[in-house]
Structure 1
Amino acid sequence: MTQTIDPVTPSPSLLRTAGLPYFVIAFVARLPFAMMVVGVLTVVVSARGSMSLGGLNSAAVGAGTACFGALLGAAADRFGQRRVLLTLAAANAAMLVAFAVVTYSDAPDAAVLAVAFGIGATAPQVAPMSRSRLVTLITERMSPDRRSRTLSSTMAYESAADECVFVIGPFVVGLLASALAPWAPLAGAAVLTVLFVGAFALHPSGRLVSASRGPSGAAPSPVRELFRARLLVVVTGIFGVGAFFGTMLTSLTSFMADRGVAEEAGLLYGIMGIGSAAFALGVAFLPTTFSLRARWATFSAILLAGSLLLFVVDDVPGMIGALALLGIGIGPTLVTQYSFGATRSPAGRTATVMTMLGSGVIVGQSLGSAVTGEVAEHAGTPVALMLPAVAAAIVATAGAVNWFLTASEPRSPRPDASPVSS
């Protein structure tokens, strides 16, 4: 029997479709990922007494995620998120516990690095998976006239949630490490991974597979669609955002260390984070006439202008002002890039694209942190403070290229059929 739907009846909101518990679970499930890099650094420095080795292990976590993130997204697209995430939750929790054990043992440094890489390789990609899940709900369960605004609001919320988690994560690591033991943050991350990533996987939305996938799980779009210029320019731009995060935090730490208060770098960085989250949420209220490509060009220009101010900053109040301006630029830029990723995802490959973008941020952040740390140590803080401008220039240049690649911009996500379960 064919069921007809009254076209006048409005489709339910995304909050009603996904349910409030979904957003709570998805938020907390991101926390272990935000704790991993700082937690690994804390344990290594405490157990092995080497800041250099700690930095290498943090980079190894990022490298593991970069190497396997997109592959995990492709697996989720093909088989559904539930089975992929349940496997990753168990594997990642085991890796976190194993890392603490190996680090405090007599195992060689190479073994510690190998386990750190394993932590990154098995890291559940909750943020990209959540974006993919919500994009699928928007494109396949909402009426076309509501998709554009809902997609913009959703990407704004997701980016703000990421910002909040990456402020809370290091704070929780510091709290657990100082109150209990250096290994406690990793143990806590393992528990949260099992409980909340598991709950995220078992949520009813975890069974959704795009309707554009065939019965075998194969996507109708070829893999080469992932390497089209219109998508790669977004990956390049979001890599620049990640590089900006890495260069900014590391150069800011060096700036504050020169003044004898390196531990306050996180507080100042939080100024940018709060502003970024607030303006990311504000994107949802921008008029649809302010196109995506115009948003990228505008806010990346603000980001570049703020980073150029770092060349002349010589005191803390000046740094606070520069960070406030940078927060205005970075949040909306990131939201816009994820919106482009959603609208340009090949049919049936949304999770793959979202994990590609997430991995781009991580690779950029890891590379930016490593390079800036070396520059700060050997060339000094003033030179290190120039590197955020280099990263911002990558973002702005990618935005300019995107402007010319975007002949006609879609006003709503790609329409697909109704979802099916795996």
Structure 2
Amino acid sequence: MSSPHDVRPSYAAVLRIPHARRTFAAALTGRLSYGIAPLSVMLAVTRSCGSYAVAGVVMALFSATSVFLSPARAALIDRFGPRRALVPMVAAHAGLLAALLWRPGAASPLVLAVGAALAGACTPPLGPTMRAVWGRLAPDRALMRRAYSLDAVAEELLFVSGPLLVGVLVAFAPPAAGIVVGAALMVAGTAGFVSSPAVRAVPAGERQPGPDAAGRRVLRGLGRPVIAAAGVGLALGVVDLLVVAFAEGQGHGAGSAAWVLAALSAGSAVGGLLNGAVEWRASAGTRLSVQAAGLGLALGGAGLAQGLGTLAVAVAVAGVFVSPLITTAYLIADEAAAPEARVQAGAWVNTAVNAGITGGAAVAGVLVGWLPAGVCFAATGAVMLMTAVAVARRGDAKRGTGHPVPLV
């Protein structure tokens, strides 16, 4: 049997790696729940309680604990191994989601909020775990870059298709059905994932000496990828709201804004696939800075758009840099991480992206009330340019210390 080193790196070669298709398909099945369960929870609480305020708080707590506790859950996976850590996580997550279905209209808002927060806290981090498994399946860096690009594009498509599936479900069933489907997908996907030979072969990590030694090893070298990931998350959070504000300012409805945001996702998918297909000569650190600068310039160009058509083109160009930037951040984080902390390293990047999106949405909500959408786009582009400079300088500083910047 040929090894990953004996084949020309390509997407087909990634999927021909032994156990790769089975493991990846199972992980994607579980990760589809990320786009279904949260929205279904919000809709179910809204319908049962009749309060958007309560539903908003429940949704926020579910998302917050899911996102910000991801590194802690990843640490458990690194410490105990995927099989021993993911199984109790998914059992608790599915059980708590099921508990939210039990007469939600009769439960107090406090009970719903606590239940949602606990359900989010137990969300299995299948994305970071799958990327760590890719690192074991594809030790060749060129092949691994393609695996990460494929993973990033597939994940983005899941987050687009998840809410669409919820829309189909609620057309003929109560929102609670979406919670059931989301929980079932997570259970089935995680079960298939942990039963894969590739995952069974992942050993548990070694306990580090001292209470903080492991944490310091995980965080060392993650400055650039975390900064870049937070920057692109901030940009995405701002753009989502700015597109809606721009469409309304042009006299168009929310449906028109959806098409523009679809162009952003399409551009990101194309960029992700191209990023994995091209044989890059530049180092990952250089690419990270260039990709951040490209995103900043594209967003600055979006500020010059005079209509939805030109805005759609501008954000599609911006999207071309999104998936490659996130993929490169994951690659650098994986390279910098200690072998026993690869899941945590990926989780920190993932958390930075989601925290940036949350912060970006909040900032955009303030900006659109004071400034024209075009100025807000330009300001967001300027932030990304500053991010490009920041990660470039950190890369230079690292080279100055004698530690090589990873080549991919």
Using the size of structure 2 for normalisation, the TM-score is 0.86
Counterpart of 2:311 in structure 1 is 319
Partner Cα distance (1:219, 1:17) in 2 = 32
Partner of 1:343: 335
Query: Does the aligned pair in 2 maintain the 1:42–1:182 contact within 8 Å?
Result: yes
Indicate which of 143, 150, 159 corresponds to 1:150.
Answer: 143
- Alignment partner of 1:180 is 2:176: no
RMSD of aligned residue pairs (Cα, Å): 2.9
Partner of 2:244: 253
Query: In 1, Cα distance between the equivalents of 2:255 and 2:60?
Result: 21
Task: State yes or no: 1:244 paired with 2:246.
Answer: no
**Partner Cα separation in structure 1 for residue 386 and residue 89 of structure 2:** 33
Stretch moving more, 176-185 or 14-23: 14-23
Structure 2 CA distance for partners of 1:173 and 1:17, relative to 1, 3 Å? same
Distance 1:386 1:338, change over 3 A: same
Partner SS state of residue 174, structure 2? coil
Residue identity opposite 2:187 in structure 1: V
In 2, Cα distance between the equivalents of 1:248 and 1:192? Answer: 30
Output one character per residue of 1:33-53: Cα deviation in whole Å (capped at 9) or x when no partner: 122333333334434444444
Long gaps (5+) in structure 2: none
Separation in structure 2 between the aligned mates of residue 66 and residue 183 of structure 1, nearest angstrom: 23
Q: Go from structure 1 to structure 2 and tell me whether the alpha carbon gap of 1:101 and 1:268 turns closer, same or farther (over 3 Å shift).
A: farther
Judged with a 3 Å threshold, the aligned counterparts in structure 2 of structure 1 residues 187 and 364 are, in CA distance, closer, same or farther, namely same
Deviation of the 1:298 alpha carbon = 1.6
Map Cα deviations across residues 224-271 of structure 1 (whole Å, 9 max, x no partner): 12232x312211221222222222222223333443521443332121
Q: Distance in 1 between matches of 2:347 and 2:54?
A: 28
- The answer on whether the counterparts of 2:44 and 2:174 sit within 8 Å (CA) in structure 1 is no
Contact map agreement 2:94 2:183 (CA 8 A) in 1? yes
- Distance (whole Å) between structure 2 residues aligned to residue 6 and residue 368 of structure 1: 46
Task: Name the aligned partner's letter for residue 89 of structure 1.
Answer: V
Q: Which residue of 2 aligns with 1:132?
A: 132
Q: Secondary structure at the match of 2:346?
A: helix
Matches of 1:296 and 1:89 in 2, distance apart? 34
- Please list, as runs of the form range in 1=range in 2, the aligned pairs for 1:3-402 lying within 5 A after superposition: 10=6, 14=14, 15-101=16-102, 104-139=104-139, 147-210=140-203, 213=205, 217-218=206-207, 222-228=214-220, 230-258=221-249, 259-376=251-368, 385=377, 388-389=380-381, 392-393=384-385, 395-402=387-394
CA contact (8 A) 2:228 2:387 kept: yes
Total equivalences in the alignment: 394
Choose 33-42 or 129-138, whichever is displaced more: 33-42
Paired residues of 1:241 and 1:391 also in contact (CA < 8 A): no
Do the aligned partners of residues 234 and 92 (structure 1) sit closer, same or farther apart at CA in structure 2, a change above 3 Å counting?
A: same
8 Å CA contact retained: 1:152, 1:339: yes
1:410 aligns to what?
406
Question: What is the Cα deviation at residue 125 of structure 1?
Answer: 0.9
> Is contact 1:247-1:387 (8 Å) kept?
no
Counterpart contact for 1:300–1:395, Cα < 8 Å = yes
Which amino acid letter does the alignment assign opposite residue 61 of structure 1?
F
**Residues 299, 381 of structure 2: 8 Å contact kept:** yes
The structural deviation recorded for 1:342 is: 1.3
In the TM superposition, what whole-angstrom CA distance separates every residue of 1:149-194 from its partner, at most 9, and x where no partner exists?
A: 1121111111111111111111111111223122222221011111
Name the SS for the 1:17 alignment partner. coil
3-state SS, counterpart of residue 76 of structure 2: helix
Residue 378 (structure 1) shift? 7.3
Deviations 1:193-227 (A, max 9, x none): 1111221122222223358x4xxx32587431223
Q: Distance in 1 between matches of 2:313 and 2:200?
A: 46
Contact 2:297 2:385 in 1 (8 A): no
Q: Percent identity?
A: 22
Q: Please, what TM-score do these two structures have when normalized by structure 1?
A: 0.84
Shift in alpha-carbon separation, 1:411–1:121, aligned structure 2, 3 A: same
| CA gap 1:153/1:42 in 2 versus in 1, 3 angstroms | same
Give the aligned residue type for 1:58.
Answer: M
| Counterpart contact for 2:303–2:373, Cα < 8 Å | no
Q: Identify the range of structure 1 (174-183 vs 105-114) with the bigger mean alpha-carbon deviation.
A: 105-114
Worse-matched range after superposition: 185-194 or 401-410: 401-410
> Structure 1's 52 and 305: CA in aligned 2 closer, same or farther, altered over 3 A?
farther
